[in-house]
Amino acid sequence: MSIEDVLPEAGQDGPLYAALTQLDDAAELIGLAPAIHQKLRKPKRVIAVSIPTLMDDGSHQVFTGYRAQHSMERGPCKGGLRYHPDVNLEEVIAGAMWMTWKCAVVNIPYGGAKGGVICNPKEMSQGELERMTRRFTSELVEVIGPEKDIPAPELYTDAQTMAWIMDTYSMQKGYSVPAVVTGKPTVLGGSLGREAATGRGCVFAIREAMCRLGLPLTGATFAVQGFGNVGRWVARLLEPLGLKLVAATDSQGGCLNPDGISVEALVEHKVQSGTVVGLPGTDRITNKELLALECDVLVPAALENVIHQGNAGDVRAKMIAEGANGPTTPAAQEILNDKGIFVIPDILANAGGVTVSYFEWVQGLQAYFWTEEEVNERLEAIMVRAFEEVYAESQARNVDMRAAAMAVAVGRVAEAQRMRGIYP
């Protein structure tokens, strides 16, 4: 399937438009060869499969699943798998492209992939999810693998999902293949430190950025949109550095206290109630209101396109660290630039997850495992180096951090393509 098959339906606020715009801007900035530019605008492979699944009531439901593989110039593909009613081909292709740049910007030997199944996991039993996952895996068994494409958990998938994929793939091969997925349970070869990795990497990037901008850590304020795994860990790890959480939201709304919110109290409240709304000592706030709060650091860690042309002018944070993928549209980025807001782009800010996934893959291939301290130290080294490289590129070219990160990433992928050539 060609990318043009979905482009007519992709609006200018859609993820695919944003991904292609960012690539085109980077191509112009670095003088990318037209042939390589055109190749990178298209995914290497897109797979769409039907997934007949036995439901608990004895009926069968046929789900649709996708896997897009954007690039293999620098190594096997790597990317998440999401279960959601709104999964569509456009976001899957865009996500695969962003994963290519994310892996390249932190300089790990992967290309990008992304997958999803159109379903509502909140309305499915554990047994139904397992049967659907195993059938989906069996449909992809020829195109995934440790040397081809390594899935990982994402929205509404988790370590258990990865365990089912690993087991199904291993049964097809006739032996255990732990390196076929990352984000597995540790008992099956998962890496220590993986759960906190995306949030931890984001915190390293925030720390480095605040140092460059001359912003003191102690007493600085931050707000988190999306208090899920990433947002929760960002908050947990920023607080010990001296920063103060003033607001957090989830899908049901949020809470605000300008004097500060105890992160652990908020975590416990969400565990008990299912939402951050209603934490004692806080006022209720909407997601829209949170984005317009005056604070030092704003962390959008929820969904795509939450900062757009219509609300970017209301943002009053000094810095944005994109914990989510694609939270800022191209039009919004221009507005933020005009306002002088420093943005740590998603392909850098949230690359900690794929970095530790890479560590897990390496450990699985070697059957030799690291301590959590070793994982965190290596993650910090990679994130700090990547931030320094992108920041230096930003200063040298006099461009924003997103443009600089794309220049670094696209340049690396393009150089690999140039050296390999086009076969035949």
CATH assignment at residue 308: 3.40.50.720
Q: Is residue 29 part of a domain?
A: no
Residue 190: pLDDT above 80? Answer: yes
Q: Is residue 412 part of a domain?
A: no
- Annotation says 42 is catalytic: no
Going by pLDDT thresholds of 50, 70 and 90, the confidence category of residue 50 is very high
Going by pLDDT thresholds of 50, 70 and 90, the confidence category of residue 254 is very high
Instruction: Check whether residue 304 and residue 345 sit in a common domain.
Output: yes
CB-CB neighbours of 123 under 10 Å: 8
Q: Is residue 266 part of a domain?
A: yes
Q: Is residue 419 part of a domain?
A: no
Q: How far apart are CA 330 and CA 247, in angstroms?
A: 26
> Residue 263: beta bridge partners?
none
Residue 17: pLDDT above 60? Answer: yes
Residue 12: pLDDT above 70? Answer: no
pLDDT at 11: 60
CB-CB neighbours of 149 under 10 Å: 27
Where is average pLDDT lowest: 15-19, 156-160, 289-293?
15-19
pLDDT in tens, 132-174: 999 999 999 999 999 999 999 988 999 999 999 999 999 999 9
Q: Tokens 């915190």 appear where?
A: 203
Instruction: Indicate the residue among 179, 210, 238 that finishes a domain.
Output: 179
**Mean pLDDT in residue range 244-250:** 97
Going by pLDDT thresholds of 50, 70 and 90, the confidence category of residue 96 is very high
Instruction: Check whether residue 80 and residue 150 sit in a common domain.
Output: yes
**Mean pLDDT in residue range 261-284:** 96
Instruction: Check whether residue 334 and residue 213 sit in a common domain.
Output: yes
Instruction: Check whether residue 165 and residue 77 sit in a common domain.
Output: yes
pTM of the complete model: 0.92
Q: Considering the chain, what percentage of its residues have pLDDT values greater than 70?
A: 97
Going by pLDDT thresholds of 50, 70 and 90, the confidence category of residue 303 is confident
pLDDT at 186: 95
Instruction: Indicate the residue among 298, 323, 349 that finishes a domain.
Output: 349
Q: Considering the chain, what percentage of its residues have pLDDT values greater than 90?
A: 92
Per the prediction, the chain carries an average pLDDT of: 95
Instruction: Check whether residue 81 and residue 145 sit in a common domain.
Output: yes
Q: Which of 78, 114, 184, 318 is catalytic?
A: 114
pLDDT at 326: 85
Instruction: Check whether residue 213 and residue 141 sit in a common domain.
Output: no
Domain extent for 224: 197-349
Q: Is residue 23 part of a domain?
A: no
Instruction: Check whether residue 201 and residue 340 sit in a common domain.
Output: yes
Where is average pLDDT lowest: 109-113, 232-236, 329-333, 381-385?
329-333
Compute the Cα dihedral for 269, 270, 274, 279 and give only its sign: positive
**Do residues 65 and 117 lie in contact, with contact meaning Cβ atoms separated by under 8 Å?**
yes
Q: Is residue 76 part of a domain?
A: yes
pLDDT at 8: 47
DSSP-derived secondary structure letter, 233: H
CATH number of 133's domain: 3.40.50.10860
Instruction: Check whether residue 172 and residue 217 sit in a common domain.
Output: no
Instruction: Check whether residue 133 and residue 238 sit in a common domain.
Output: no
**Do residues 105 and 351 lie in contact, with contact meaning Cβ atoms separated by under 8 Å?**
yes
**Do residues 134 and 164 lie in contact, with contact meaning Cβ atoms separated by under 8 Å?**
yes
Name the nearest CA neighbour of 83 among 74, 75, 92: 92
Q: What is the 3-state secondary structure (H, E, C) of the chain?
A: CCHHHCHHHCCCCCHHHHHHHHHHHHHHHHCCCHHHHHHHCCCCEEEEEEEEEECCCCCEEEEEEEEEECCCCCCCEEEEEEEECCCCHHHHHHHHHHHHHHHHHCCCCCEEEEEEEECCHHHCCHHHHHHHHHHHHHHHCCCCECCCEEEEECCCCCHHHHHHHHHHHHHHHCCCCHHHCCCCCHHHCCCCCCCCHHHHHHHHHHHHHHHHHCCCCCCCEEEEECCCHHHHHHHHHHHHHCCEEEEEEECCEEEECCCCCCHHHHHHHHHHHCCCCCCCCCEEECHHHHHCCCCCEEEECCCCCCECCCCHHHCCCCEEECCCCCCECHHHHHHHHHHCCEEECHHHHCCHHHHHHHHHHHHHHHCCCCCHHHHHHHHHHHHHHHHHHHHHHHHHHCCCHHHHHHHHHHHHHHHHHHHHCCCC
Instruction: Check whether residue 174 and residue 203 sit in a common domain.
Output: no
Q: Is residue 134 part of a domain?
A: yes
**Mean pLDDT in residue range 187-207:** 96
Q: How far apart are CA 346 and CA 362, in angstroms?
A: 24
Instruction: Check whether residue 239 and residue 332 sit in a common domain.
Output: yes
pLDDT at 87: 95
Q: Is residue 65 part of a domain?
A: yes
Going by pLDDT thresholds of 50, 70 and 90, the confidence category of residue 46 is very high
Instruction: Check whether residue 230 and residue 342 sit in a common domain.
Output: yes
Domain count, the chain: 2
pLDDT at 422: 84
Instruction: Indicate the residue among 149, 179, 209 that finishes a domain.
Output: 179
pLDDT in tens, 341-386: 999 999 999 999 999 999 999 999 999 999 999 999 999 999 999 9
